[in-house]
Every structure is written in C-alpha cells, then in structure tokens.
Amino acid sequence: MIFSVKDLGRSPGSMRTIEEHVPAPKDFGVALIGVQEGSDMELDLRLEAVHEGILVSGTADVEVSGECGRCLIPIEYTSGVEIQELFYYGDSGSLPAEEEEDLHRVENDSIDLEPVLRDAVVTSLPFQPVCREDCKGLCSECGARLNDEPDHHHEILDPRWSALAGLTGTAAENDAAPRTESDEREES
C-alpha cells in the first residue's frame, strides 16, 4: 500500500485526499479475530504536507471476522479505525533522536501505509472477542454451548465423598423399615 506523495511537494499546507478500496494484506489480526487477507478495506484519508513531513489522517473501514473467545461462534462486523500518523522527510532535521528507528518516513517521494494501517487495525481489535457481553461460553465437561442450553449441568461428585454416595436415601428407608427389639432398646 505504497502511495506517491510527489504531487504534494514540500510546501506546507498542500493537501490531497484518498478514497480507495484496497485489498487487506496478510496478518491483519490476532489469533481469534482479524481482517481476512484480500477482503475489502475502504480508505478515506487526507494527506497533508507539513514542515516535518506528510501528515496522514482519516479512517479505514474493515470487515472483521473471527470467533467468540467463550463459545466459538463465528463473529463478523464492520469496524471503522481512526488513523493519524506523521511520515517524516528523510532529511528532516526535526527527527526526534530518541525515537528515530520507530518513525515512519517518506522514501522516494512515497509513503507505505501498510504498517500504519496494521497497527491501527490490530490495536483496535478486542483482546478477548465475544459474541455478546453475557455469553456463557462452553460447558467444561462436554463442550455444549451454555447460551443454547441455559439449564445444562453435570452432577459432579467429589471422589472423596464417593464412599458416602450409597448412603443417600437410607434415612428415609430406615424410618420405613420395621423396627426390631434391638432398635427399641438402643433408643431408650
């Protein structure tokens, strides 16, 4: 995504706009969510010459797709990302020395917008995407979607109590059982 800025020259105040649809490059996302390679990105940008370089500002609309981090249902939505970045002239004496390697530059009267767009899009993506805020996720025992089955549960017995599992219901059975002479002696 290299754009020529030769027509802007180096005269501060000269400006032009870019309204284009471009295909999304590779790796515009994270593990669970991102922009598919080749999908349409709509750029609405303003390129303006300033003393230090070219100021790029505007928006990029992208189609985001992925899956919910809780229940793994596919997620798709359109996202508008704000962009504002200064591309410094290579011979500019105003380059901040401490950040010089992290700066974007005008090279051969062109600017490369891909790294700027990647940074803007990827940092706008949710760290833990969800299909809805109250998503209950998946059952940890069987993988059932808890949104689809709200009453879903498993009877989980602690193995330390397994010896007592056979005693449930015995009190009612003992009350209904016929009494013997030894039972009556124990009560008195």
| Neighbouring residues of 84: CB distance < 8 A, sequence distance ≥ 6 | 55, 56, 57
Domain that holds residue 117: 2-124
Give the total number of structural domains in the chain: 1
Instruction: Evaluate whether residue 115 is within a structural domain.
Output: yes
> Three-class SS string for the chain?
CEEECHHHCCCCCCEEEEEEEEECCCCEECCCEEECCCCEEEEEEEEEECCCEEEEEEEEEEEEEEECCCCCCEEEEEEEEEEEEEEEECCCCCCCHHHHHHCEEEECCEEECHHHHHHHHHHHCCCCCCCCCCCCCECCCCCCECCCCCCCCCCCCCHHHHHHHHHCCHHHHHHHCCCCHHHHHHHC
pLDDT of residue 6: 83
Instruction: Evaluate whether residue 134 is within a structural domain.
Output: no
Distance CA 140, CA 154 (A): 10
Distance CA 72, CA 136 (A): 11
Distance CA 177, CA 111 (A): 91
Instruction: Evaluate whether residue 135 is within a structural domain.
Output: no
pLDDT of residue 160: 82
pLDDT of residue 174: 47
Instruction: Evaluate whether residue 162 is within a structural domain.
Output: no
Instruction: Evaluate whether residue 117 is within a structural domain.
Output: yes
pLDDT means over runs of 10, the chain (188 residues): 83 87 88 90 93 91 94 93 90 58 82 91 91 90 86 80 69 52 56
Instruction: Evaluate whether residue 185 is within a structural domain.
Output: no
Instruction: Evaluate whether residue 178 is within a structural domain.
Output: no
Instruction: Evaluate whether residue 132 is within a structural domain.
Output: no
- Tell me the whole-structure pTM to 2 decimals: 0.69
